[in-house]
Amino acid sequence: MIFSGSKKDLHNFKFKIKNFLKKRLLLEIPKQKTNIYLIKDGVDFVGYKVFSSFIRLRKLNLVKFRKRTIYLSGLYLANKITINCLFSSINSYLGHTMYVNAHRITSRILSNLNFLFIDYCFKFYKINVI
């Protein structure tokens, strides 16, 4: 990623980089991989939307995580997967959200899973519910 205050500079850098890669390394970059965006729109990069002063999670990642937790919690309740498998998926997502301010949306998604933690505690401590 290259940032600049001028679109003209960015087009100039893009031209120079393409020429260097083509002449020296005999490589070509696909056209769809070299785009110039306004920084106010953010840059989509490795699952994040990067802005000049903050970083957000990509919306698609939130949707996928929400669907995946619902799916995995259903599998857990049907005794098809272990709680460790479910927790592994949740911890993976939490690791991904470490670098952004996603506390509110994460707590909203995880609050829907409270019943799983209670169920797990009952199973772990072998408590029978009447």
Tens digits of per-residue pLDDT, 91-127? 888 888 888 877 787 777 777 776 666 666 556 555 4
Q: Give the domain ranges of the chain.
A: 7-54, 57-124
Least confident span in 11-20, 33-42, 57-66: 33-42
Work out the average pLDDT over 75-96.
85
Q: Which pLDDT belongs to residue 36? A: 84
Q: Amino acid identity, residue 49?
A: K
Q: Which pLDDT belongs to residue 16? A: 94
- Predicted structure pTM score: 0.60
In order of 12, 112, 122, 129, the CA distances from 102 in angstroms are 36, 16, 30, 35
What DSSP character marks residue 56?
E
In order of 21, 44, 47, 100, 129, the CA distances from 35 in angstroms are 16, 11, 17, 24, 59
Q: Which pLDDT belongs to residue 80? A: 92
